[in-house]
Every structure is written in structure tokens, then in C-alpha cells.
Amino acid sequence: MAVAAQAQDVALRSRDGAIEVTGTLLGFDGQFYRVQTRYGELTVDGSGVLCEGVGCPSLTDYVAEIDIAGSATIGAVLIPALIEAFALSEGLTATRQAEAGGVTYALSTRDGADPGRTVGRLTVRATSTDEGFADLLADEADIAMALREITPAEVALAREAGLGDLTQANRSLVLALDAIVPVVSSRNPVEEISMRDLSRILSGEIANWSALGGPDVDIAVHLREAGSGLAHGLDRRLLEPARTALVDGVIRHADNAALAAAVERDPFGIGFASFSATGDAKPLVLTGSCGFQLRAARRTIKTEDYPLTAPMFLYLPARRLPALGRDFLAYTRSEAAQVVIRRAGFVDRAAEEVPVDLQGDRLVNAILAARTPADLAELRRLAERLGDWRRLSTSFRFEPGSSQLDAQSRANVRALADALEAGEHDGQELAFVGFSDGRGAAPVNLQIARDRAEAVRAAVLAAAETADLGRVAIETDAFGEALPLACDDSAWGRQINRRVEVWVR
């Protein structure tokens, strides 16, 4: 945590002796004291006071202590890689030491007046998303790693524990992107599967491969442990919409690599793996009755066109991290960190431009799905309007049955606002382009799509407070149901089709 000597009585006295605060020292981040007093919890700038008492930390020998706990998918590879890269960027040496329940990285100076001095220790406990939130709530972690959003019950407990409102934008960040990928053995003849059939397998309604065009043999279901973010993702994306429960007898695995290896060995098994760790197992293509196909790939995950995308979160309590911790979090959003994220096998959040000639699959699908001459006319208008534009990988989607942006999209608002403030789009034109599902009348869908595009544009501009908007032209347009990404005959298909894209030229 922020200071080694905690739960000690201290007195903080102003340098002129006029003001004194006494209480229990809760933390020290190298700059600020956090003290529980009879007036409540106070944060006091250390530069203006003198600390007296056995609990007072050393200002000269201060070592930042930061505990990071939670999702093994995030903590086993990605966070360690980012810590090591961060240390290198800061001119520090990172020394790794395995300890009971985790790994600690001691960061020490290389040069200067005091080479070899330890300035920070970052401990990573790669357990599960559930345990990460539990550690955060118990004040046993400074940062929680999660492959899902925090639940309402956890939000309430966090407020009671004095950690603030963890649903606020500054209490979490999307570190990278992953996805849930259905996988089978390379010896299994099945190549594709629908989302509906995935939920039917998980519920036990489909128990034999013959129902999917495979051999007449029972299906073995392989999953991660119950507290993992991937397991929660399956509940939210597949079981809850179908209003069903998980079948008994699933085979659980402690980590992603073990799951993928077990599925590859089992010709009659199906697993739900992390995109970053499918191993030698064969990913299944998601399909629907209308013939659309969706593959888990870096670009489809980044744009959320793939429906089982899983944002990777870091959650932070409402207290100051040590300066070293704040610098590390800032580094995770840098361009250099995005390279580290890609090399670690995950999907980074750096915006990419996708020209029209690399979007042939979805344009062909849209033409095949067109039902009327009006649909084809709208597609022609889209081609004429955006033919010389490029789609940004930054997309915006909404919570099911809601006008509220989903977690990844809320992070995208901040990311695009930061890009505008940094001048990355100066001299360009940006267009927020709305799309809808195909349910209902086409004119109504077009207006809904236009309203969504306007709402997202307004949210981004409100967040880009310091941007010089005179340097970039920003407009909106909408094409309603003209460019579907999935079949409209399922809730998840309609969810994927309701979106706002960003185009640039």
C-alpha cells in the first residue's frame, strides 16, 4: 500500500506551529498524508507540515508501495510487461521477485547521486476478477484488474468502505481489449456456430455435436474458474439474455493456457478462451441465419464489431496513488505502451484508420442483406458519401436496452477527446456516422441513428475542453439500417448493428 507504517497515531503541525492535526495515519504517497481524524478522513500536503509520532514515514527514504490484484488474464503477462517497459522508460531497473501469492517488482535508480536506490515496489497478485474487487474493497489492493465492469453490489460496498463511486469515469480505465472466443480441437469438423447455439450449449439444451453437424457424441464444455472475468462475461453475454443458467458438469481450468490446451486435446470439447490465449485450438466463426460471419480478429475486437469483446479494466479507489503509481497509469495510455500491449498478445486501444477497400466483407454482406430498392439506394448514398474517407477503429455502442454508452465506448469518448486536444486531427474532417438495426420503419431507424450520432459528437466535444475545434471540421451523418454487421433476428445481432462510427479524411 502507500506507506509501510499504517494505523499509527501521528500529529501533523504547520511549520509556524499555528495549526495541528492529530489522528491515525492511513497512508502516505510521498507527497500527501492521509489521516483519520475526529473530523473525518483528511488529506494533508506534506510540504507544509511537520510529522511527529512513531508512525511518521521517512521523507528521504520513502519507497512507493503499490499493490495490484485481480484478473489472471491481465496480471500474468500484460501488467508485468507494462511494468518492465515503464521502468525502462523512466531510467529505472526493474528487479522481479516471486513471492507467496504474487510477484513483486522493485524499481531502483540506475544513475544520479544515489544509484541503486529503491524508489518503488509494485506487487502483482494474479488471481481472479472477483478476488481483485474483494482485495480493493478490503483495502488490500491499490488497483484492481478486472475483465468485467464492477457490479452494483460492489459499487455499494465500495461507497460504504469510503472508496468513492467506482462507476465514475476517473475511477477506472480500459487498459486493453480482449475477447471471448469459442474454440474446439483442430480435429473437430465444426467450423462455425451461432450465438444462440452457444447459449444453448452452455445451458445444456444442446448436448450432442450432431445437433451442430458434427459427430454423434456428447459435448464437453471447458470454462475458466467461476470467479474469472471470462466466466462473468459468458453469463452476461450469453446466459442472461437467454434467461437460462449454466449446465452442471462443466470442466473448469485455472488459466487460459490450460483451457486452450485441454480443448485441443479433446476432440469433442468446446471451450471459451481468451483471444490472447487460444493456443493450438481452433476458433469458431460466429454466424447467423442470414449468413453473416464474424471472426475474432484484432480489428474486429478493437471496433467492437466482434460481439464478445471483453475490455480489460483497471479500477482505482478515490484516493491518491503515489506519484510513481500515477506515472505508471499515465504510461499505460501512451503510444509506447500500446506497442507493449500488442506484443503481449492483446488488442491495444490506439486508433487506426481503415480505408474502404479493406471493408469489402461488410459491404458485400450489406448488399446481400438489402431487402428493398430503398436499401440499395441508401448503400449507394453511403458509398458516394464516404468513398474517399477512412473509418477510425474508434466506435461507439450502447448498453442493451439503453441510450447509455457501454464501458469501452465511454473510454473511447475520452480517448478521442484526448486526440482532439493533442491536435492529432488538425486539418482533417471527422464525421460521426450513426447506424441502427433493421427492426421498425426505415425513416424512424434513420432518425434514431442520426440522434445517436449527434449525442456521441456532443459527448466527445464536451470532453475535449481544451481542443482548438477551429482546426478540425466535425459533422454528423446517418445511414440507419443500411450497413448491418450481423443478423437482426437475435438480440446480440441488433445490439452490434446499433452503433456510431467515426470516419476521417
pTM: 0.83
Better-scored residue on pLDDT, 403 or 128:
128
For residues 268-276, average pLDDT = 95
Around Cβ 421, how many Cβ atoms within 10 Å?
14
CA 17 to chain centre: 48
Which secondary-structure segment (H or E) carries 339? helix 335-343
Given a cut of 80, whether residue 402 has pLDDT beyond it is: no
Q: How far is CA 285 from CA 71, 187, 364, 439, in A?
A: 26, 16, 17, 25
- Phi, psi dihedrals of residue 461, rounded to the nearest 5°: -65, -35
Give me 299's grid cell: 480489428
What domains lie within the chain, and their CATH numbers?
8-52 (2.30.30.100), 178-302 (3.40.190.10), 351-504 (3.30.1330.60)
Give me 461's grid cell: 466535444
Please report, as a single letter, which amino acid is at residue 17: G
**Structural contact between residues 341 and 78, judged by C-beta atoms closer than 8 angstroms:** yes
CA angle 319, 84, 130 (to 5 degrees): 50
For residues 200-221, average pLDDT = 95
Q: Is 91 helix (H, G, I), strand (E, B) or coil?
A: coil
Which secondary-structure segment (H or E) carries 196? helix 195-203
Give the CB-side neighbour count of residue 355, counting CA atoms within 13 A.
2
| Cα 474 to Cα 461: distance, rounded to the nearest angstrom | 9
Q: pLDDT tens digits, residue range 3-41?
A: 444 567 899 998 888 889 999 988 888 788 888 998 888
Q: What is the pLDDT of residue 171?
A: 92
Q: pLDDT tens digits, residue range 47-79?
A: 789 999 888 887 767 889 999 999 999 999 999
Query: Exposure of 269 by Cβ count < 10 A (0-12 exposed, 13-18 middle, 19+ buried)?
Result: buried
**Structural contact between residues 255 and 161, judged by C-beta atoms closer than 8 angstroms:** no
Which secondary-structure segment (H or E) carries 457? helix 442-463
Better-scored residue on pLDDT, 441 or 96:
96
Which secondary-structure segment (H or E) carries 476? strand 473-480
